[in-house]
Each structure stands twice: as structure tokens, then as C-alpha cells.
Amino acid sequence: MILNSCSMSPQPLSPHNFRDLFDSVEAFLFDCDGVIWKGDELIDGVPQTLDMLRAKGKKLVFVTNNSWKSRSQYADKFRSLGISVSQDEIFSSSFAAAMYLKVNNFPSQNKVYVIGGEGILEELQLAGITAFGGPDDANKTIDLKQNCFVEHDKSVGAVVVGIDPNINYYKLQYGTLCIRENPGCLFIATNRDAVGHMTALQEWPGAGCMVAAICGSTQKEPVVVGKPSTFMMEFLLKKFNVSCSKMCMVGDRLDTDILFGQNAGCKTLLVLSGCTTQSALQDPSNNIQPDYYTSKISDMLDLSGA
């Protein structure tokens, strides 16, 4: 019993266990928000850590649940923060939503209605899928007069919902009508994060808020394509010739990042630079235990002796 319980407890990253982890891992999968940056501010020591990992031959992958941007927009964000990352190393939930429709042979005559950001529309377009909504519906208002009626497109075959700071009643009604009234219409959530560091100064409602709103009005549950769903993993595995056991998922969230890593059979490292505190990790109510935890990814730089 005692042995069991010890082996389940997450270990703080230390000079002793770091070498084992480092040597056994060929690819590090990083969450972005709370790991690489907070809002638009880089977390201390990140560029040097990524440089060290590349220099040691490790593959790097960035797996973000934030669907606001497309992969190319994320590559731009990395560049603007002084980090060189190729679009192929980025897996965003906006991309995952497009890939989900693609692998499920979404009919070419059908359209997608988007509650979320430009990034989703861009990834859908790249996948050859017709989509509308998103930022274009940001300023639509509803005045509930008696003749008020929202006409919806009967060819919408999927509603994709992600983080949307421009959420409004028009979008909620449009998405609800499509899901309730168009036969077979899919309801896809990029992710269900409750909150996120949309700005450096505080946390804000995440996609989990908008997704729940549509669950509330449709009484349906979505297909989730972002973490902790392992849907993105099959793309990762195709692109990088590495087995899951030689991957380490590094993230700041237990219920998305660490669960995603565990669901996929990866090693897992929790960093405390984002939304999870050490006391939340060690709280008896928490039942998601990473293999390792540390304060921030640059601890790996110190431990590597580089």
C-alpha cells in the first residue's frame, strides 16, 4: 500500500530524476499558455531552455488548446516573442477542429458555423471547408421584438465552438438553431478549458464557458478535439516518428495537459508557472497526478547543467 501510494505521487524534478527523464524522452510536447507565455509575456528562461533542448537533439512540439489563433498565427506570435518555431511544430485546437471534420469526411456541400476566433475559420479554410460566423458576427445584436427571427443556413453540418470574447446572443441563437434543427449537425468543441490567461494580469473565461452555454441551450454534449482528448495525438504520431512512451507532455493544467499526456501514454511534467499551484496539485481532492512537477520549464536548463 505504502509503496503503491509512493509510486503514484508526483516527484519534484531534481538532479537525481531529471537525467532519467531527459535521456528517455525524444520529444517534448509543450502547452503554451502558462508554460511558454502568459498572455503576451514570455515566461523567464523559455528561449534558452528551448535552445538547449534543440541542441540536445530533442524534438519540440507545441500543443495549445487556445483556438483563437491558427497555427500560422501562433508561429507569428512565437516569432514576435523572439522564438523561432515552425508551423509544423504547432498543434492548436483550431487545427484539430478542422482535422476532425477532414478525417470524418465532412461533406463538401456542407458548411460550418463558428463561435470563436479567426484561427478556426483560417484552419477550416486551409482544410477546404466552407465556414462562416466567428468575428463577422461579433457586432450582431438581437432586439427581442415580436417579429424578431434568426434565419439559419440549413446546410450547416457542424458548429465549432472555441474561446470567443465576442460571444453574443445572436451567435448563441445561430449555433443553437443549427444543432437543434439541422439533422445530423455536429457540435464540436475545440476544448473545454474553464479559464485561461488571455491577458497577463488575470484569468478569463475560456472555451469551456462558450461550449457550456451551447450545451445549456441544446442539451447536447460536444465532441472535444483539444486536450485532454487524444484526437491530436494521431497527427502528432504521423508527423514525428516517436512512440508515445518517448514523449513527455509539459503543461500547467492537470485536467487538460496532464490528463492528455496520461491518456496518450506519455510521461508528464507539470509546471507551476501557470494556473496550477503546488497546493492544488497536492490537495487530496486532486486525482490527476503527473509523473513530475517543477516551477517552470527553465528548471530543465539549470538541471541539464547547460
Question: Contact with a copy of itself (CB under 8 A): which of 168, 263, 286, 304?
Answer: 168
* Dihedral Cα 129, 130, 136, 142, nearest 10 deg: -120
Question: Contact with a copy of itself (CB under 8 A): which of 108, 109, 147, 287?
Answer: 147
Position 280 contacts a copy of itself (CB under 8 A): no
**Residue 13: what residue type?**
L
> Exposed/middle/buried for 104, CB within 10 Å: 0-12, 13-18, 19+?
exposed
* CA distances from residue 184 to 50, 178, 190, 298 in whole angstroms, order as listed: 44, 10, 19, 47
Give the range of 83-91, 209-217, 258-266, 292-300 binding a copy of itself by CB under 8 A.
209-217
Position 167 contacts a copy of itself (CB under 8 A): yes
Residues 18-57 that bind a copy of itself (CB under 8 A): 39-41
Give the range of 55-63, 87-95, 215-223, 231-239 binding a copy of itself by CB under 8 A.
215-223
Termini Cα distance of the chain = 39
**Residue 170: what residue type?**
Y
Q: Which of 20, 23, 31, 88 is catalytic?
A: 31
Q: Which of 29, 56, 98 is nearest to 237 (CA)?
A: 29
Give the range of 95-103, 120-128, 212-220, 259-267 binding a copy of itself by CB under 8 A.
212-220
Residues 6+ apart with CB under 8 A from 72: 87, 122
Indicate if 137 belongs to the active site. no
Return the residue matching grid coordinates 516517436.
242
Radius of gyration, CA atoms only, the chain: 20
Question: Contact with a copy of itself (CB under 8 A): which of 5, 109, 202, 287?
Answer: 202
The arrangement of strands across the sheet holding 247-251 comes to 11-12, 292-294, 267-271, 247-251, 27-30, 59-64, 90-92
Question: Contact with a copy of itself (CB under 8 A): which of 200, 221, 283, 306?
Answer: 200
Going residue by residue from 233 to 272, which x/- string records binding to a copy of itself, judged by CB under 8 A?
----------------------------------------
Question: Contact with a copy of itself (CB under 8 A): which of 176, 230, 294, 298?
Answer: 176
Indicate if 33 belongs to the active site. yes
Q: How far is the CB of 170 from a copy of itself (least distance, A)?
A: 9
Secondary structure letter of residue 33 according to DSSP:
B
Chain residues that interact with a copy of itself, rule: CB under 8 A = 39-41, 142, 144-150, 164-169, 172-173, 176-177, 180, 192, 194-195, 198-202, 204-206, 208-219
In the annotated binding site for Mg(2+), the residues are: 31, 33, 252
In the annotated binding site, the residues are: 31, 33, 227, 252
